Amino acid sequence: MKKLGALLAAFLLVLGLGLVVPTAATAAPYCGITWGSLAKTSAPMTTAPITNVRAGQHPCFDRMVVDIRGKGAGYRVEYVSAVRADGSGQLIPLRGGAFLRVIVKAPSYDRFGNATYRPANPSELVNLAGYATFRQLASAGSFEGQSTFGLGVRARLPFRVFTLDGPGTASRLVVDVAHRW
């Protein structure tokens, strides 16, 4: 009798496991992104100037990189309703459903006032055609030792900000914006 009960229990267990079959995932791959969309800041100011701004695409996010000729600069990156030019307050028009104001606590000029970063088109710093999240990257100027950039993105998505040392004595400020929540 015990043997029959054990066989019946084993049969029901196998039958139950057969009914619970995992389904194939149809959503986009999860990237483990937990960044959030609140403002991010770092305090240090530097006199080391900005030398370039560029962008890149990754499987889970789009990336903005600010090259600095020296140690890492502080920053304030946040979603805003509009990006305004440093000094004048003039509106910087941007494409996208949301706007990130990227303030880099570093100038775009050297100690003699000579430009160290002079983009050909301040309204279109980088060609962002085909990017999943980025829509437009524009300069909002450099004033009183800090430089501001406007980043138009598809929607108010999570982002992260960090600095990297190198190459050599240079550093980079990195802003990653996720493709989705």
Q: Burial-class residue 32 by CB neighbours within 10 Å (0-12, 13-18, 19+).
A: exposed
What is the pLDDT, as a whole number, of residue 72?
A: 85
CB 19 within 8 A of CB 75: no
Q: Which two tokens stand for residue 90?
A: 């003039």
> Residue 87 — pLDDT band, cuts 50, 70, 90?
confident
Mean pLDDT over each residue of the chain, to the nearest integer: 89
The answer to whether residue 17 scores a pLDDT higher than 50 is: no
> Residue 67 — pLDDT band, cuts 50, 70, 90?
very high
> Residue 4 — pLDDT band, cuts 50, 70, 90?
low
Angle ∠(47,83,179) on CA atoms, nearest 5: 95
In percent, how much of the chain has pLDDT > 70? 83
In percent, how much of the chain has pLDDT > 90? 80
Instruction: Give the mean model confidence (pLDDT) for residues 23-38.
Output: 72
Question: In CATH terms, is domain 40-178 a member of 2.60.40.3500?
Answer: yes
> Residue 127 — pLDDT band, cuts 50, 70, 90?
very high
What is the pLDDT, as a whole number, of residue 56?
A: 98
